[in-house]
Structures are given as C-alpha cells and as structure tokens.
Amino acid sequence: MLKFLLTLIIFFSLLILLIYFLANPSGGLESYISTLENGMERKVSKGDTISVLTFNMAYGYGIGSDGVGYEPKPNDLIYERLKNIALLINDSNADLVLLQEVDFDANRSGNKNQVDFLMNLLDLKYAASAISWDARYVPFPYLPLSSHFGKVKSGGAILSRFPIINQKTEFLPKPISNPWYYNWFYLHRYIQKATIDLGFTTFSIFNMHLEAFDVINKKKQAHQLKKMVASTSDLWLFGGDLNSLPPYASKVAHFDDEYGDDYTADSTQTIIRSISGFKEPIQPNTSESDYFTFPPLKPNRQLDYLFVRDSIKILRYEVLNTGDLSDHRPIFLQIVI
C-alpha cells in the first residue's frame, strides 16, 4: 500500500512538473523597440494631422480565433491574411497603429514574428512589441487534440512613422477566480506605453488588451489604467480592445450570436470614463451602432475604443468595415497636433 501511494505521489509530482514546463507560467514576458532600416519616417509640425488605427487583428486567423468554431488554418492562408492586414494599414495611411493579438512565434499562425512580417510590408519605420503570453504548449481548444494551439508567443504592438524613444509594458494580473493550473496557461492582459517623438514635441500613448471574461479582474484593470493615466502627464490618447460596453449601450446581454457574452455587472467603462481630461471622440449625428466593432460581419456591440485628451481637436473617429479579416473591426482616428 505504501509503495502504491509513493508511486502515485511521484507520478503526480512529475505530471505537475511537466505541466509547469509546458505552461511556462513564470517566463517569456518582455517588451522591446525595433526599427526597420528601409521604413519611412514622417516629419510634422504643429497644426498637422496624425492618424491612428487600433485593431485586434486576431493573429491573422479571422473569425473563430478565440476558440468558438476554431479549427487550424494552413500557414499560407494565415500569411495571406497578414498581407491583407498590411494592405488595410497602408490604405488607412495611419501614422500610429495599436495592435492586439499579435503572434511572435506561435504554432497556430505559422511560427512567424508577425510584427516583423507586417513591418516588411508597411511604410512604418518603428515598432514597440509586448509579449504577454508565452507558453510552450496550450491545450486549447480542448478537443480534438489536433486543434490545440500548441506553442504560443503572443501579445500586442505599436507601429509608428515617428521614432519611439521609449516604451514600457504593464503586464496585468490574471483572474484569481481561475484555477491555478488554468492560469499557468492563461495569457496576461497588458497596458503598453510608448513615448513618441515628433521632433518639435514628444507625447505618450497607451495600447491595451483588457480582460474579457472575469468582471472583477476587468474592474481591477480599469482602476490600474486610471492610475497609470493620472501619472502620465504627456499622455495624448489610449485605447485598444477593452472588452467592455459603453455605459449608454442599449443591450448588455442575449446578443444574436454564438458567444453568449453578458456584460450586465460590468462597470469597466464607467471607471474608464471617470478618468479626468479624456473623452471618447464620438462624432455628431452618429448612432450607437456606428461604433459597433464586434463581431465583424454583423456587429452588435462596441468592444474597441480610443480615448483622447479633451484639448485635442478631432477630425475623424470611425469604425472601418474589414469583412472577416479579424473577429473585430478596427477604429480609425484623425487628430490635429
């Protein structure tokens, strides 16, 4: 009996060690700046305009990237979609691009650094990358085994026509409501800060991807964002995929889609909109549905945002229709500097 118990203890200890190794829960988080030698750098002066795009690009997978209806796609198809994402960015003529769900080396997307891949197709010269999820093997979706994500290295990025002189990423805590073994494989949400040099002045921007499922954790992240904004005096704008509905949303549950999301108890946007000195630049004569970003083909809610300092003049703020290029639609902003 004792021998049997010892065997069980050894077996489960080895199993936990194996799971820990595959999950890599304590490693991999990093952020860095890169420069493309053949990229274009734009010179501006006061009174010029700057265009900003925020886009959860779903690592080039498209609809179903989060597991709902997920099945692996051929690498060549992923690469082709990345080329179309680069075309979208070039066509938008954006000077700053905030990206979420970018893969840096993942089995699910052909093991390419997608920032490098995009930068070689874009006329943007600078990038700041933030790796917020690094696991040697992710067993999701659970069945069939052939659909597992496998190795994942993923996060966010800021692309720029202007020099990025420094950057820092705040990797946010995982939900305490998740089992410990689940959190080993779970991604970190993040708030990525970059300082942009326009030549005649500098300013900061935040790119972020906040919690999608755990309401308590999402509120904590909103308060963390509020604290970071208050301590960043040169911040001009922040945004990304905030996974929350605006306070004026006419519908918060029972959406006509397969996701089953319920935002009834979610006060994330109320917290964010209490940040002094910033606004979402909703344009006159627009309706709530004009800003829906999810799901992409028949959008019925807004999950993606850009917030701008009150003193900045807004020329355009709109959602772009990109078909099934991602599971979100991007938001485009044009401001006067």
Residue 170 lies in a domain: yes
Q: Higher-confidence residue: 139 or 38?
A: 139
Residue 26 has a CB neighbour count (10 Å cut-off) of 9
| Total domains present in the chain | 1
- Give 168-204 pLDDT, tens digit per residue: 999 999 999 999 989 998 999 999 999 999 999 999 9
What's the rounded Cα separation, in Å, for the pair 54 and 336? 18
Q: Which domain holds residue 304?
A: 27-336
Cβ neighbors of 120 (< 8 A, separation 6 or more) are 36
- Give 54-91 pLDDT, tens digit per residue: 999 999 999 999 877 788 999 999 999 999 999 999 99
What's the rounded Cα separation, in Å, for the pair 300 and 295? 7
**Strand-strand pairing, 49-56 and 96-103:** parallel
* 179, amino acid identity: P
Q: How far is CA 50 from the centre of its chain?
A: 21
Residue 208 lies in a domain: yes
In this prediction, residues 44-60 reach a mean pLDDT of 96
- Give 210-264 pLDDT, tens digit per residue: 999 999 999 999 999 999 999 999 999 999 999 999 999 999 999 988 888 999 9
Per the listing, tokens 């999301």 go with 261
Cβ neighbors of 7 (< 8 A, separation 6 or more) are none
**Strand-strand pairing, 164-171 and 202-209:** unpaired
Q: Are 124 and 40 in contact (CB under 8 A)?
A: yes
Q: Is the predicted pLDDT of residue 162 greater than 60, yes or no?
A: yes
What's the rounded Cα separation, in Å, for the pair 169 and 190? 7
- Give 87-105 pLDDT, tens digit per residue: 999 999 999 999 999 999 9
Q: How far is CA 7 from the centre of its chain?
A: 44
Residue 237 lies in a domain: yes
Residue 309 lies in a domain: yes
| pTM for the full predicted model | 0.94
- The pLDDT assigned to 25 comes to 66
Residue 305 lies in a domain: yes
Local confidence band at 125 (pLDDT 50, 70, 90 cut-offs) = very high
- The pLDDT assigned to 66 comes to 81
- Give 261-300 pLDDT, tens digit per residue: 999 999 999 999 999 999 999 988 999 999 999 999 999 9
What's the rounded Cα separation, in Å, for the pair 88 and 322? 8
Residue 12 lies in a domain: no
Q: What is the CATH number of the domain that holds 156?
A: 3.60.10.10
What's the rounded Cα separation, in Å, for the pair 112 and 153? 10
Per the listing, tokens 């069980």 go with 8
Residue 319 lies in a domain: yes
Tokens (6 digits) for 115? 């920032």
Residue 21 lies in a domain: no
The phi and psi torsions of 189 (rounded to 5 degrees) equal: -80, 165
